[in-house]
Chain A
Amino acid sequence: MSVALSAQDITRALTRISHEILEKNQGSANIVLLGIPTRGAHLATRISSIITSIEGSEPPTGTLDITLFRDDLRMRPPRAIMPTKIPTSGIEGKDVILVDDVLFSGRTIRAALDALGEIGRPRTVQLAALVDRGHRELPIKADFIGKNLPTSKNQSVRVLLSEIDGRDEVTIEEGAEL
């Protein structure tokens, strides 16, 4: 096991991502942050509070559960469905920033795009990920990346966040993910 990002690294990466989001979207007026449960939702909340401290107003922030849209449902036992909370302002015509912890095969994001399509038509959809570990199986790329971690498929990336795990850390472990 090796530590890829420390607590400080995570804070710095999220701060940079927040600034990049504001730069690319010329402020926070039209953005909606949607985190993918479980850890993406907490990251979205953190990015939202960083943006609030920079801009002075809080961007609409919610969660988007993609379980029911997954393409690998038949290959695993059923998973618990997590809450989906779309901000009351909706996503119609907005710049939606999807937030996830690890970008890997890209299948989660494909499912998220399908889920978004059921809710409305955003002006743009952008993707922020704390870690991009490569090995994409679909033509998907992130707009905002905390850190690129070159990994082999036989390794797994674990993201620990203080809200759930008691501390902030990203580690690389040997052994493929289940």
Chain B
Amino acid sequence: MRHLLSIADLNKSEAISILDTATELARVSDGAVKKLPTLRGRTIVNLFAEDSTRTRISFEAAAKRLSADVINFSAKGSSVSKGESLKDTAMTLQAMGADAVVIRHSASGAAQRLADSQWMSGSVINAGDGTHEHPSQALLDAFTIRKHLGMGASDLAGLNVAIVGDILHSRVARSNVLLLAMLGAKVTLVAPPTLLPVGIQNWPATVSYDFDSVIPHVDVVMMLRVQQERMSDLFFPNAREYSRYFGLNGERMASMKSGAIVMHPGPMNRGLEISAEVADSARSVITEQVTNGVSVRMAILYVLLAGGALEVGSN
């Protein structure tokens, strides 16, 4: 495996091996020493052409714990804002000797373009491309679910997961549906019809418009951010109505199964899709998702970068 562009690039055993590697690496993060020499001398570039807090910091922390050198590059304050193309940017990074590029871009397929081109020779890791995919987020979500509800199993067979909200604009939802279904979970998408993409019937998931009827049956409620910056149209009448039908508040949380957890990829719109009461409750694993994100991204970097190009065969 050279790139991580989409969950569709992974098979089940590869996905599980990333989760297992992350489990071992999490023990490192828990220990007194948080640094490993594994990627010493490698250069990882964080190329962020779109705003991010969690993902960028998480990849940076993961790379640094594995002793890689990290170069942060954001569109604001770089030549990208002067109109430099992705190609010229990539060729610059290649000239600097980047071993891997973690790319976030507002255009769907930007990571694929970078990987397929001959512009650079390093690994490409998709950290979110437009409304397409965000594979590292899905892996950390699966890791978090497995840790809480997996009961020692390697996959997520038999678990019910509801993904609620702005499915249309959500790369997190796309990656999660693919990965969770691959790991054996049953996924239900809950959203107003206006926020569901065309072709949703072909996804490995069921669709519901009624949050209240879904919530008592699921083990995981994953709330999605309402992505106002991507909304050029009016998708629901007003925020209060959206919140009433598709928001997770204390009252809805009370009807959840015992042991069920609440997730959110962040950043949250408190008061819109999730109430502060829920976000700060004991069911919420939202800050833990951030912690797990570092271990999972360490595992991704390890799997993509630690092995050499020379395939000698394993014993």
The answer to whether A73 and B307 touch across the interface, beta carbons within 8 angstroms, is yes
The answer to whether A68 and B37 touch across the interface, beta carbons within 8 angstroms, is yes
Residues of B within 8 A of A84 (CB): 24, 27
Q: Could you say which of A69, A79, A83, A177 contacts B36, with CB atoms under 8 Å apart?
A: A69
The answer to whether A81 and B33 touch across the interface, beta carbons within 8 angstroms, is no
Residues of B within 8 A of A73 (CB): 38, 306-308
What is the CB-to-nearest-CB distance from A140 to chain B, in angstroms, rounded to a whole number?
A: 18
What is the CB-to-nearest-CB distance from A65 to chain B, in angstroms, rounded to a whole number?
A: 7
The answer to whether A80 and B20 touch across the interface, beta carbons within 8 angstroms, is yes
A84 to B28, CA, bound (A): 9
The answer to whether B312 and A78 touch across the interface, beta carbons within 8 angstroms, is no
The answer to whether A69 and B37 touch across the interface, beta carbons within 8 angstroms, is yes
A24 close to chain B: CB less than 8 A: no
Residues of A within 8 A of B24 (CB): 65, 81-84
Determine the residue in chain B with the shortest Cβ distance to A75. B308
Instruction: Report if A114-B37 is in contact (Cβ < 8 Å); known contacts: A77-B307, A80-B21.
Output: yes
Q: Could you say which of B17, B35, B311 contacts A80, with CB atoms under 8 Å apart?
A: B17
Number of A residues near B (Cβ < 8 Å) is: 20
Residues of B within 8 A of A119 (CB): 31-33
A118 close to chain B: CB less than 8 A: yes
What does the 1/0 interface line of B30-54 toward A look like (CB < 8 Å)? 0111011110000000000000000
Mark out the residues of chain A between 80 and 122 whose CB falls within 8 Å of any chain B CB in the assembled complex: 80-84, 114, 118-119
Determine the residue in chain B with the shortest Cβ distance to A76. B312
Determine the residue in chain B with the shortest Cβ distance to A115. B36
B143 close to chain A: CB less than 8 A: no
The answer to whether B307 and A178 touch across the interface, beta carbons within 8 angstroms, is no
Number of B residues near A (Cβ < 8 Å) is: 26
Q: Could you say which of A75, A80, A83, A114 contacts B312, with CB atoms under 8 Å apart?
A: A75
Residues of B within 8 A of A78 (CB): 302-303, 306-307
A77 to B17, CA, bound (A): 14
Residues of A within 8 A of B36 (CB): 68-69, 118
The answer to whether A76 and B27 touch across the interface, beta carbons within 8 angstroms, is no
Residues of B within 8 A of A82 (CB): 24
**Interface SS, A side:** loop
A81 to B31, CA, bound (A): 16
The answer to whether B314 and A178 touch across the interface, beta carbons within 8 angstroms, is yes
What does the 1/0 interface line of A164-178 toward B look like (CB < 8 Å)? 000000000000011
A-B contact count (CB 8 A): 63
Residues of B within 8 A of A178 (CB): 312-315
A80 to B13, CA, bound (A): 12
What does the 1/0 interface line of B1-39 toward A look like (CB < 8 Å)? 000000000000000010011001101100111011110
B282 close to chain A: CB less than 8 A: no
B231 close to chain A: CB less than 8 A: no
Residues of A within 8 A of B308 (CB): 73-77
Residues of A within 8 A of B198 (CB): none
A119 to B24, CA, bound (A): 15
The answer to whether A81 and B25 touch across the interface, beta carbons within 8 angstroms, is yes
A74, A75, A81: most-surrounded residue (chain B CB, <10 A): A81
Residues of A within 8 A of B66 (CB): 68
A51 to B136, CA, bound (A): 46
What does the 1/0 interface line of A14-35 toward B look like (CB < 8 Å)? 0000000000000000000000
What does the 1/0 interface line of B199-223 toward A look like (CB < 8 Å)? 0000000000000000000000000
Extra A-B contacts (18), CB below 8 Å, given A79-B314, A178-B312: A68-B38, A68-B66, A68-B302, A74-B306, A74-B307, A74-B308, A75-B312, A76-B312, A77-B308, A77-B313, A77-B314, A78-B306, A78-B307, A79-B307, A81-B20, A118-B36, A119-B33, A177-B315
Task: Please name 28 pairs of A and B residues whose Cβ atoms are closer than 8 Å in the assembled complex, sorted by A.
Answer: A68-B28, A68-B37, A68-B302, A69-B36, A69-B37, A73-B307, A73-B308, A74-B307, A74-B310, A75-B308, A76-B307, A76-B310, A77-B313, A78-B302, A78-B307, A79-B307, A79-B314, A80-B20, A80-B21, A81-B25, A84-B24, A84-B27, A114-B37, A119-B31, A177-B315, A178-B312, A178-B313, A178-B315
Residues of B participating in the A interface, judged by any CB pair closer than 8 Å: 17, 20-21, 24-25, 27-28, 31-33, 35-38, 66, 302-303, 306-308, 310-315
